[in-house]
């Protein structure tokens, strides 16, 4: 039997999300969540019955049309029109794991009972998740302010039997899949379209996905850099705890401690050094990697708050007998966090490429370009070019999206976060970091063979042996693109325990 994750008021965090994803858990509403949703809907129905007073998004138009009153017989049409008219996404398909996270996070946000939606609407979103029926969503179209309007409209279209969905690797019309499961399209009631479209679940899902990857890559960057340290025959003194305790940034101290653990028992580490100092890309690893760790933790805290929040509008407060139109859909906290994270992750690639450059430079008794018979063989000359190209692209992508804003909705929505653009850029950067680290791993493992018979630490030797099963030693020139792709796949498949990652 599949395991169940119950949607409730219990805090969602990254380890929980990772467990839900990796264990392929199904979603189910807790009694608490079901009751919250029902109470909110009942309150809204009672509040709007025979009430002609305008309530934004419930019996009015949207955005700059907020002063246009809608008659009661057109409230369902109003919500359906909202979903259809706002489904204006373009660009590439959102990756399916992120679409699945969008469904989960939208359900979580609606489950708190501040949104006034039907129980069956939330249940259908859960059905989509559990059956792997993933709405086709595009990665362009959100300003990250009135919620992720266009992406969430595409996420919501299949509820109405409209739009398209992924089932396995194929795309089908949503109406066809609903009929296959004998599901009737949802008939949206007052406020439901707005509850579905207002929200930050596009940005939040990207951010959660990126952060899961960022935590892992932070660990992998330390492990690969530790191998490079031994491969380049570096001093161990820069990792001495005394250095870091007098400048005790948490990430810096953690990185230094990790390097001491990784390199414990290394023959190369204990050997006498000819060089008094090492280049900054080796000597300052704790300071650089550590600063990225601190950034990851800061952004993790921001997203933990967000994915446990209500981000649609207006919000319904039963106990206080209020329906309040506010701005919880504005993605500014996420936009700033994603931009900060993008810069911090780009730096992991930046310093990694510098270590790769040093390793191929023919220094410290290593052959030029880490190959026998350099000249006849080009060896690892061009992977460093590739890494340099990617690092340069990252610098361009790391330009912050959140400093931009553009007026929309006829001036009603006059400041936007651009958090969706920050999210998609950040994912590209993190994917690029993975590639650059894969290239460094290729170089460090190749250089290590020229240090034989001396060995690195038992821990890293075990890691190296596992990598060698995927990417063998390069004795003479071969198609290194295949090795790069294999190295990336190796990093992606490498499993790390939660207690190490988070």
Task: Give the whole-angstrom CA distance, residue 97 versus residue 134.
Answer: 9
Measure Cα distances from 256 to 226, 259, 339, 345, 441 in Å: 10, 5, 26, 18, 20
Are 312 and 329 a contacting pair, CB within 8 Å? yes
Are 59 and 70 a contacting pair, CB within 8 Å? yes
The alpha helices in 360-418, defined as continuous H runs, are: 381-397
Are 165 and 174 a contacting pair, CB within 8 Å? yes
The sign of the torsion formed by the CA atoms of 296, 302, 304, 307 equals negative
Task: Give the whole-angstrom CA distance, residue 234 versus residue 237.
Answer: 9
DSSP state of 326: -
Residues with a known catalytic role: 56
Task: Give the whole-angstrom CA distance, residue 307 versus residue 105.
Answer: 6
Are 165 and 136 a contacting pair, CB within 8 Å? yes
Among candidate residues 328, 326, 303, the one with its CA nearest the CA of residue 423:
303
- Residue 379's contacts (CB-CB under 8 Å, 6 or more residues apart) are 360, 367, 368, 369, 370, 371, 474, 477
Cis peptide before 482 (omega within 30 of 0): no
- Burial class from Cβ neighbours inside 10 Å (0-12, 13-18, 19+) for residue 357 reads middle
Task: Give the whole-angstrom CA distance, residue 370 versus residue 24.
Answer: 43
Helix axes 250-262, 285-307, angle to 10 degrees: 120
Are 224 and 460 a contacting pair, CB within 8 Å? no
Count the Cβ atoms, other than its own, within 10 Å of residue 51: 12
Count the Cβ atoms, other than its own, within 10 Å of residue 47: 18
Among candidate residues 361, 377, 349, 346, the one with its CA nearest the CA of residue 441:
349
The tokens of 348 are what? Answer: 């992991």
Number of residues assigned to the chain = 502
Place of tokens 């340290």: 229
């Amino acid at each position: 039997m599949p395991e169940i994750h119950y949607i409730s008021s219990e805090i969602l965090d990254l380890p929980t999300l990772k467990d839900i994803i990796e264990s392929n858990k199904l979603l189910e509403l807790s009694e608490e969540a079901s009751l919250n949703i029902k109470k909110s809907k009942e309150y809204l129905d009672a509040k709007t019955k025979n009430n002609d007073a305008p309530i934004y998004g419930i019996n009015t138009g949207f955005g700059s049309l907020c002063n246009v009153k809608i008659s009661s017989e057109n409230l369902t049409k109003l919500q359906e029109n909202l979903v259809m008219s706002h489904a204006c996404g373009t660009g590439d398909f959102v990756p399916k794991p992120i679409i699945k996270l969008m469904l989960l996070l939208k359900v979580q946000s609606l489950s708190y009972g501040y949104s006034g939606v039907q129980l069956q609407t939330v249940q259908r979103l859960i059905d989509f998740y559990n059956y792997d029926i993933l709405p086709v969503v595009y990665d362009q179209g959100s300003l990250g302010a009135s919620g992720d309007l266009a992406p969430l409209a595409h996420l919501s279209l299949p509820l109405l039997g409209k739009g398209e969905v992924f089932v396995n690797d194929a795309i089908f019309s949503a109406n066809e899949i609903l009929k296959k499961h004998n599901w009737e399209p949802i008939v949206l009631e007052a406020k439901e379209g707005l509850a579905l479209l207002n929200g930050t679940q596009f940005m939040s899902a990207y951010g959660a996905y990126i952060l899961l990857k960022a935590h892992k890559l932070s660990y992998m960057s330390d492990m690969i850099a530790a191998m490079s340290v031994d491969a380049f025959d570096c001093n161990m003194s820069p990792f001495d705890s005394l250095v870091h305790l007098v400048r005790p940034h948490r990430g810096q101290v953690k990185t230094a401690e990790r390097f001491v653990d990784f390199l414990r028992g290394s023959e190369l580490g204990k050997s006498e050094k000819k060089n008094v100092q090492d280049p900054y890309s080796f000597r300052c690893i704790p300071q650089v990697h550590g600063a990225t760790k601190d950034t990851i933790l800061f952004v993790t805290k921001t997203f933990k708050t967000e994915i446990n929040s209500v981000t649609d509008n207006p919000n319904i407060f039963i106990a206080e007998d209020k329906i309040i139109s506010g701005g919880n859909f504005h993605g500014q906290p996420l936009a700033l966090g994603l931009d900060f994270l993008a810069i911090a992750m780009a730096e992991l690639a930046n310093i990694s490429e510098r270590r790769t450059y040093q390793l191929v430079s023919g220094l410290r008794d290593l052959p030029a370009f880490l190959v026998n018979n350099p000249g006849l063989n080009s060896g690892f000359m061009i992977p460093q070019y590739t890494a340099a190209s990617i690092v340069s692209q990252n610098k361009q992508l790391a330009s912050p999206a959140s400093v931009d804003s553009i007026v929309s909705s006829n001036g009603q929505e006059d400041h936007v976060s651009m958090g969706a653009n920050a999210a998609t850029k950040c994912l590209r950067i993190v994917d690029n970091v993975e590639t650059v680290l894969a290239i460094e791993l290729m170089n460090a493992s190749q250089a290590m063979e020229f240090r034989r018979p001396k060995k690195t630490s038992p821990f890293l030797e075990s890691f190296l042996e596992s990598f060698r099963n995927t990417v063998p030693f390069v004795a003479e020139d071969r198609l290194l693109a295949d090795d790069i792709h294999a190295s990336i796949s190796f990093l992606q498949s490498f499993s790390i325990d939660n207690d190490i990652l988070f």
